[in-house]
């Protein structure tokens, strides 16, 4: 049964009041597994994922610790620049992946926004996009873990065009690296390791680097 709905402050574009469930309110006012700013260095994560951009809206950063023996997520921390719905959705996601001893990676990769919203008791229609950030950040963090642990064959491309077949690096990975501050080929290689072994990928990497730098920064 969905949680009891509670009227939130404000109205939608149709003049109707928005409604938030008790679960949404709980995870917004008392977020679970939130990593406080300044504590990032002290949390030794196995993988980190960042999606979105504060320049154009919500941004999400999510860290995971994974037990390599069981392939389960043992800890999940996060930070977000976003609204109440984004905070609540990510808080709930962080609970879902570590409850009952931790979720196996293959199961965590199957989590979709609908699963998060179901646990929250629903979200207002115009806020559904907020639940998308969390699962995208989780997949990015898991992919980061796969890269760092040498499990390149397990990387999930998430529909992007593969630029480096050996490491399964996509154009979306290059785009995100630029959003994270990469400005040179060396920056890209330091973050993604791409183009070091497979040098044939370098021309396309450099082309994408120029494209995304101009797209986002005009340079």
Q: Is position 56 annotated as part of the catalytic site? A: yes
What is the dihedral angle through the alpha carbons of 126, 129, 134, 139, rounded to the nearest 10 degrees? Answer: 170
Taking the CA atoms of 69, 73, 75 and 76 in sequence, report the sign of the dihedral they define: positive
Dist. CA 176–CA 197, nearest whole Å: 21
Q: Is position 213 annotated as part of the catalytic site? A: no
> For residue 112, with 0-12 CB atoms within 10 Å meaning exposed, 13-18 middle and 19 or more buried, which class applies?
exposed
Encode 80-135 in three state secondary structure: EECCHHHHHHHHHHHHHHHHHHCCEHHHHCCCCHHHHHHHHCCCCHHHCCHHHHHH
* Cβ proximity of 205 and 199 under 8 Å: no
64: its two tokens: 């995971």
Phi, psi of 153 (to 5 degrees): -70, -10
Catalytic center residues: 56, 130
């Amino acid at each position: 049964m969905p949680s009891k709905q509670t009227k939130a402050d404000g109205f939608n574009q149709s003049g109707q009041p928005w409604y938030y469930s008790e679960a949404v309110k709980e995870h917004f006012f008392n977020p679970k597994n939130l990593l406080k700013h300044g504590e990032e260095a002290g949390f030794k994560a196995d993988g980190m994922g960042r999606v979105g951009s504060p320049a154009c809206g919500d941004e999400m950063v999510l860290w995971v610790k994974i037990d390599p023996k069981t392939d389960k997520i043992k800890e999940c921390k996060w930070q977000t620049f976003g609204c109440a719905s984004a905070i609540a959705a990510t808080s709930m996601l962080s609970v879902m992946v570590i409850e009952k001893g931790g979720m196996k990676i293959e199961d965590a990769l199957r989590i979709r926004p609908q699963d998060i919203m179901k646990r929250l008791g629903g979200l207002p229609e115009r806020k559904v996009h907020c639940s998308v950030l969390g699962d995208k950040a989780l997949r990015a963090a898991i992919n980061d873990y796969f890269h760092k642990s040498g499990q390149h064959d397990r990387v999930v491309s998430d529909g992007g065009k593969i630029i480096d077949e050996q490491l399964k690096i996509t154009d979306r990975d290059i785009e995100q690296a630029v959003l994270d501050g990469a400005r040179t080929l060396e920056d890209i290689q330091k973050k993604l390791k791409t183009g070091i072994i497979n040098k044939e990928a370098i021309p396309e990497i450099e082309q994408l680097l120029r494209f995304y730098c101009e797209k986002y920064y005009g340079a």
